[in-house]
Amino acid sequence: MVNDEKRTTTEPFLLEKERNSLFPIRHPDLYNAYLAHRSAFWTEQEVLLSADEFDSLPEDAQFYLSNVLGFFAKSDMLVNSNIDERFLGDFENNETRMFYHYQLMAEDVHTAQYQRLIEVYIKDPA
């Protein structure tokens, strides 16, 4: 799982071998970060958009928000690619990998929410 480039490192944290068991927790600080991240879980279905008044915003504000939503809809997918390609392969300890797996899932929720906002707010002029 570890990137070949990282095998030459002397960083002890990157040299840990994969374990087939989570317990006992070897990195309580990382495991607690994972638990804190998990406690903030939400889904895009929880966000009620029916009371929003996007159409009543000034045109320049609508333009600005449309561009921001478009940016984040794409960039969160890039965040996931970066985590997957640049971080997960560097670590074999379970606590770090669990945190990054959860972050991948959370970014998926963000991506779905941005896409949903675009669907609801931005009208196709055609």
Instruction: Determine whether 64 is an active site residue.
Output: no
The gap from C-alpha 101 to its chain's centroid, in whole angstroms, comes to 9
Q: Which of 31, 100, 114, 121 is catalytic?
A: 114
For residues 107 and 42, the answer to whether their CB atoms sit within 8 Å is: no
Catalytic residues: 114
